Amino acid sequence: MSAEDVMRDRIALVTGAAGGIGAAVARTLAARGATVAAVDRDPARLAEAVDKLVAEGLAVTGYTADVTDHAEVDALVDRVERETGPVDSLVNVAGVLRLGGALELSQEDWAGTFAVNATGVFNVSRAVVGRMVPRRRGAVVTVASNAASTARVAMAAYAASKAAATMFTKVLGLEVARHGIRCNVVAPGSTDTPMLTSMWHDEADRTATLAGNPGAFRVGIPLGRVASPEDVAEAVAFLLSDQARHITMHDLTVDGGATLGV
Marked catalytic residue, from 158, 166, 233, 252? 158
CB 158 within 8 A of CB 98: yes
pTM for the predicted model, two decimal places = 0.95
Least confident of 93-102, 205-214, 240-249: 205-214
Q: Which residues pair with residue 154 across a beta bridge?
A: none
Q: Is residue 205 part of a domain?
A: no
15 located within any domain: yes
Distance of CA 101 to the CA centre of its chain: 24
Band of pLDDT at residue 194, cut at 50, 70 and 90:
confident
Query: Rounded to whole angstroms, how far apart are CA atoms 122 and 119?
Result: 5
pLDDT one-digit tens code per residue, 80-119:
999 999 999 999 999 999 999 999 999 999 999 999 999 9
Residue 198: inside a domain: no
Average pLDDT taken over every residue of the chain: 94
Residue 197 has pLDDT above 80, yes or no: no
Task: Report whether pLDDT(200) > 90.
Answer: no
Residue 2 has pLDDT above 80, yes or no: no
Mean pLDDT of 251-259: 97
CATH number for the domain including 137?
Answer: 3.40.50.720
Instruction: For residue 47, tell me if it sits in a domain.
Output: yes
pLDDT in tens, 164-182: 999 999 999 999 999 999 9
Percent of the chain with pLDDT over 70: 95
Do 226 and 237 touch, CB atoms closer than 8 A?
no
**pLDDT score at 250:** 98
What is the model's pLDDT at position 31?
Answer: 97
Residue 204 pLDDT > 90: no
Residue 123 CA: distances (Å) to CA of 34, 66, 141, 167, 224: 23, 10, 14, 15, 37
Give the mean model confidence (pLDDT) for residues 203-210: 77
Three-class DSSP category at 104: coil
Q: What is the pLDDT of residues 7-55, one digit of tens each?
A: 888 999 999 999 899 999 999 999 999 999 999 999 999 999 999 999 9
Q: 123 φ, ψ to 5°?
A: -60, -50
> What is the per-residue pLDDT for 37?
98
- 213, part of any domain: no
Q: Is the pLDDT of residue 206 over 70?
A: yes
Q: What is the pLDDT of residue 70?
A: 98
Region 196-203: what's the mean pLDDT? 66
Q: Where residue 196 falls among pLDDT bands split at 50, 70, 90? A: low
pLDDT above 90 as % of the chain: 87
Domain coverage including residue 33 = 3-192+229-253
Confidence (pLDDT) at 208: 79
More confident residue, 12 or 3: 12
10 domain-assigned:
yes
* Residue-level pLDDT at 199: 64
Phi, psi angle pair for 127, to nearest 5°: -65, -45
* Residue 4 confidence (pLDDT) above 70: no
Domain count, the chain: 1
Q: Is residue 219 part of a domain?
A: no
**Is 203 inside any structural domain?**
no
CA angle 161, 166, 169 (to 5 degrees): 125
63 among known catalytic residues: no
Other beta carbons less than 10 A from residue 239's beta carbon? 23
